[in-house]
Amino acid sequence: MSSIITDPIFYLAAIPAVILMGLAKGGFAGLGLIAIPLMALVVSPVKAAALMLPILIVQDMVSTWAYRHDFDKRNLFILLPGCLIGVFLGWLMAAHVSDELVKLGVGIISVVFVIIYWRRRHVEGEPILGKVAPGIAWGAVAGFTSFVAHAGGPPFQVYVMPQRLPPQTYVGTSTWFFTITNLIKVIPYFLLGQFSTENIGTSSALFPIALVSTLAGVWLVRRIEPARFYTIIYTLTFVVGVKLIYDVMPHLF
């Protein structure tokens, strides 16, 4: 039988994180942004991301089947080469820098992307065609932030949302992009030694919670106004990001 993490403090952070990630997969896009910063309060960011990855991959398989006909091929062809670069840079960072620096990176990513969200949430305009060079650049940012914190959503949104794709196409493109991205991340995480028996066992133990919360997200997104949830979650993400930065500073200076 696989071993699992037994520290109850870990689960006080991990269970809410998995629930939020499940709700995000169920339709509340963006709620998962806080998941890794929250878990990084109790384990290293790389370990937190590795624990979440198997759960995400299983959820992705369901999502891609649901959106197998609804995605924009052009966006995927532009974003994915940059994503490969970003994942590679994320692997280099995780492999060659201390946990403190990775935590600092996760904290900064959390704070910056919440600020971007707050600034862009009311921005409107005519649909624009995404250009290749910015798409590769934003794909690289999405790949990097996805690797270190499963937080690739904001840079993806910065590039794709101004195109005003039909809702089904937008969700399908996002689903396929992050499904492929998560599969790309498997080898680097393996090389970092993060697929230990303990990590896999812990991920398996958390999967039922992820499944239930994903189904709950699908049910809730059709029945309630998500604006309040986004406000609360992004505020919490900002606070957790600031705390990660604050906790790391004494170790760096």
In the predicted structure, residue 78 carries a pLDDT above the cut 90: yes
In the predicted structure, residue 122 carries a pLDDT above the cut 70: no
173 vs 65, higher pLDDT: 173
pLDDT band at 125 (very low <50, low <70, confident <90, very high): low
- Please, which residues have CB within 8 angstroms of residue 97's CB and are 6 or more apart in sequence? none
Phi, psi at residue 121, to the nearest 5°?
-65, -20
Encoded tokens for 218: 């699908």
pLDDT band at 153 (very low <50, low <70, confident <90, very high): confident
Choice among 29-33, 77-81, 120-124, 132-136 with the minimum mean pLDDT:
120-124
Encoded tokens for 149: 């914190």
Identify whether the C-beta of residue 33 lies closer than 8 Å to the C-beta of residue 64: no
Encoded tokens for 164: 């005003």
**What is the SS3 assignment for 164?**
coil
How many whole angstroms separate alpha carbon 120 and alpha carbon 107?
20
pTM of the model: 0.78
How many whole angstroms separate alpha carbon 216 and alpha carbon 22?
8
How many whole angstroms separate alpha carbon 48 and alpha carbon 150?
10
Mean of the per-residue pLDDT values of the chain: 82
pLDDT band at 65 (very low <50, low <70, confident <90, very high): confident
157 vs 156, higher pLDDT: 156
29 vs 189, higher pLDDT: 189
In the prediction, which pLDDT does 230 show? 63
